[in-house]
Amino acid sequence: MTGWRPVLAPAVHLRHDRLRGTDLLLLPERVVVLEGGAGAVLRLCDGEREVPDIVAELSRRYPGAPVAAEVPEFLGRIREEGWLR
């Protein structure tokens, strides 16, 4: 995934629902409730950072978390859904 600079697809919006205390992906005719740190990962998908940069930043923020293994896999799944480009 080196060289890929993920960014949310144009029709996809990341929002925090304060009432529920969770992050949401707003899609055309669909809402996806994000779990765990998914929102923190997607907030770093700004089209500027490559996947290794995102992993490095999350590793710094969450020492000891398995971000190196989980984040690229998560981003790949979200990309397959068409929510990232």
Q: Is 44 strand, coil or helix?
A: coil
Cβ atoms of residues 74 and 36 within 8 Å: no
Question: 């669909």: which residue's tokens?
Answer: 30
| Half-sphere exposure of residue 17: CA atoms within 13 angstroms, side-chain side | 13
pLDDT-derived band at 84, boundaries 50, 70, 90: very high
pLDDT confidence bin for 1, thresholds 50/70/90: low
Average of pLDDT values for 50-71?
95
> Whole-angstrom Cα distance, residue 54 to residue 42?
9
Model confidence pLDDT, tens digit, residues 20-51: 999 999 999 999 999 999 999 999 999 999 99
